[in-house]
Amino acid sequence: MHVHFIVHEDFEAPGAYEIWARNHGHDVTFTRVYDGDKLPQEAENIDFLIVMGGPQTPITTQEDCAHFNSKNEQILIDSAVKTGKAVIGVCLGSQLIGEALGAPFDHSPEKEIGKFPITLTEDGCKDEMFSHFAKTLEVGHWHNDMPGLTPDAKIIAYSEGCPRQIVAYTDRVFGFQCHMELTRDVVEMLIANSEKDLSCAADFRFVNTPEELRSHDYNEMNQVLFSFLDKLEARYKSF
């Protein structure tokens, strides 16, 4: 199976998503846009498209960030969705999925950086893809915004600081505003590139200090993510 990652910044690494793909022996490729890599022209040869996060927003222009082309990414996402691929967006990636499907992103009520609980909605509790999730699960966060909702989208999970943490757009397309892929190595890279945000931790309800971020155990949420990805792979192969 071919898993393709779009990575916007070197410090927004795929983490547990890549670990899962490599542990399963999948063909793993990347578009590292911060290095000037070109996006695939089409999604035909991709099975899983995973769009990672970044400090940009879906309305960031190339004048603001020369290596980020929101419209081109949305075109590729739309192509992947229409051709039945499995598509996962993380943080910015989740917002780009919404935009590609006609649902503009929005600002989250709260900035969230750290490890805080998410809670399954009624739709989330009914969805077999999330049956292995606890009703409330502590996961990683690193965001200010949240994905838009299409008419058919279902909110799977929310947090106290953000009402759209996991969104199911179709049975194979999911937006994760939360960061279940965080590992200690990825967290260290994020800390190194978030000095301004973390220096103001005391001003926000849901922002951890660097010391708190380093103290967390990220393994449990990684294992829950791996099980979700196993289910999504099985669903994808069943069609």
The residues facing 6 across adjacent strands are 31, 51
Residue 8's domain spans which residues? Answer: 2-238
Tokens matching residue 34: 């911060």
3-class DSSP state of 40: coil
What's the rounded mean pLDDT across residues 89-94?
98
At residue 169, the 3 state secondary structure works out as: strand
Instruction: Give me 6's structure tokens.
Output: 């779009």
* pLDDT for the residue numbered 71: 98
The pLDDT tens digits of the residues spanning 165-224 come to: 999 999 999 999 999 999 999 999 999 999 989 998 999 999 999 999 999 999 999 999
pLDDT tops 90 at residue 239: no
> At 69, which CATH number?
3.40.50.880
Which ranges constitute the DSSP H helices of 83-154?
Answer: 92-100, 122-126
Please tell me the total count of domains within the chain: 1
